[in-house]
Amino acid sequence: MVCLGNICRSPLAEGILASKLPKDKFRVDSAGTGSWHINQPPDTRSIATAKKYNIDISNQKGKHFQKSDFEIYDYIYVMDQSNYDNVIELSETPEQKAKVQMILNELFPDENVDIPDPYFGLPNGFEIVYKMLDEVCDIIAKKLIAKHQ
Ligand code: 4NP
């Protein structure tokens, strides 16, 4: 799960998807294309929103997306178009490019709809982002379980 800062959207996406998958079969992680928040916990608003739905993301630590992540992960979901462009820029092969997808394309195929960045927005932005991610992670989890279990 990749966003810009790895403190608002992708930590929520990581926590939500991980909660829907068997822990012994899948590895879910998140990172940012920016490096400002390395080793920092998620934004307190993301932590509080996840907690409301019984998901604990408070132990996550900010990471910077690395080229080596293309080798570690089979699926790379990005939150918005600029994340997509930044991750694609780091890719080196068609196989790596094919791993990168706008996350909401799992819900609205080919429409390239962004998960909006709630960082500078209204407080209810986090709730809206949570609901969007919860809906799309349901689809992703079902697909992954069907394909890999
Ligand atoms: P995120 O939100 O990409 O959803 O984690 C942001 C958080 C911080 C910043 C940008 C986006 N920032 O510029 O510090």
Q: What is the pLDDT of residues 122-138, one digit of tens each?
A: 889 999 999 999 999 99
Portion of the chain with pLDDT greater than 70, in percent: 100
**Residues with active-site annotation:** 3, 9, 117
CB-based burial label for 110 (10 Å; 0-12, 13-18, 19+)? exposed
Determine if ligand 1 sits within 6 Å of the CB of residue 9. Answer: yes
Contact 10, 34 (CB under 8 A): no
User: Residue 51 has what pLDDT?
Assistant: 98
Q: Is 80 exceeded by the pLDDT of residue 149?
A: no
For the cut 80, the answer to whether the pLDDT of residue 2 exceeds it is yes
Ligand 1 center to 3 CA (angstroms): 8
Residue 5 CB less than 6 A away from ligand 1: yes
The residue whose CA has the least distance to atom 14 of ligand 1 is 5
Q: Show me where the domains of the chain are located.
A: 2-147
Rounded Cα–Cα distance for residues 9 and 56 (Å): 14
Q: What CATH number is given for 2-147 in this structure?
A: 3.40.50.2300
Which residue type, as a one-letter code, is found at position 84?
Y
What are 55-101's pLDDT values in tens digits?
999 999 999 999 999 999 999 999 999 999 999 999 999 999 999 99
Kindly tell me if the per-residue pLDDT of 115 is higher than 80.
yes
Q: What is the pLDDT of residue 103?
A: 98
pLDDT tens for residues 100-110? 999 999 999 99
